[in-house]
């Protein structure tokens, strides 16, 4: 009986992760790695945390103004399952900022690439096919980012006299805007009790 309940709980853990954790998708598509750091700044306070398996956030610290040492915070929470819950906890529990509207995806930075989490999320949409007609601009944005990277790398190669003409970037290519993507299948929750247990486990 217990083993069967564990199987059901694990099944809905996977479903819950798929449904709610955009961070999980970003890790899955290797735009984030386990152990990478994310951070944001608010009124001179630099909050930082680590990405864990499943796209969870933990090991939270803060650098206070005029302090060179990191202070461990939010130790009462084992992990956070979303950027919003993490940033809200930092602002409310640490700075007592209860009425501040904070755009987590636009403000939180992936330290290793110096890109916002919103930019990584947009790239993830392109990789997993979750692109709507309204997101076509994101396709062009990604193409522009890649071509800019090529130009920067070409500059480094040229400065070291290693560049070859065959590596030149091709002209800008238009995106097929009428491309049809497969719809993401929605899963029905067959066991609400197991689903609630999973949510409690993730937030404990």
Question: Is residue 169's pLDDT more than 60?
Answer: no
Are residues 29 and 128 in contact, defined by beta-carbon separation less than 8 angstroms? Answer: yes
3-class secondary structure for the chain? CHHHHHHHHHHHHHHHHHHHCHHHHHHHCCCCCCCCEEEEEECCEEEEEEECHHHCEEEEEEECCCCCCCEECCCCCCCECCHHHHHHHHHHHHCCCCCCCCCHHHHCEECCCCEEHHHHHHHHHHHHCCCCHHHHHHHHHHHHHHHHHHHHHHHHHHHCCCCCHHHCCCCCCCCCCCCCCCCCCCCCCCCHHHHHHHHHHHHC
| pLDDT tier, 10 (very low <50, low <70, confident <90, very high otherwise) | very low
Higher-scoring residue by pLDDT: 185, 85? 85
pLDDT digits (tens, 9 = 90+) for 61-89: 999 998 889 999 999 999 998 999 999 99
Question: Is residue 16's pLDDT more than 60?
Answer: no
Q: Give the whole-number percent of the chain exceeding pLDDT 70.
A: 65
pTM: 0.58
């Amino acid at each position: 009986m217990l083993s069967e309940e564990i199987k059901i709980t694990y099944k809905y853990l996977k479903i819950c992760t798929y449904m709610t954790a955009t961070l999980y998708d970003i890790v899955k598509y290797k735009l984030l790695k386990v152990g990478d750091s994310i951070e944001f700044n608010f009124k001179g306070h630099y909050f930082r945390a680590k990405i864990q398996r499943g796209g969870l956030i933990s090991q939270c610290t803060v650098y206070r103004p005029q302090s060179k040492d990191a202070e461990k915070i939010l130790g009462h929470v084992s992990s956070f399952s979303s950027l919003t819950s993490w940033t809200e906890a930092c602002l409310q529990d640490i700075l007592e900022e209860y009425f501040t509207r904070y755009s987590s995806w636009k403000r939180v930075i992936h330290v290793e690439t110096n890109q916002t989490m919103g930019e990584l999320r947009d790239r993830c949409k392109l990789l997993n096919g979750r692109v709507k007609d309204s997101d076509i601009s994101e396709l062009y944005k990604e193409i522009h980012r890649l071509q800019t990277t090529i130009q920067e790398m070409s500059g480094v190669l040229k400065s070291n006299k290693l560049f070859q003409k065959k590596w030149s970037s091709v002209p800008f290519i238009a995106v097929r805007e009428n491309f049809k993507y497969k719809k993401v299948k929605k899963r029905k929750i067959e066991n609400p009790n197991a689903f609630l247990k999973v949510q409690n486990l993730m937030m404990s």
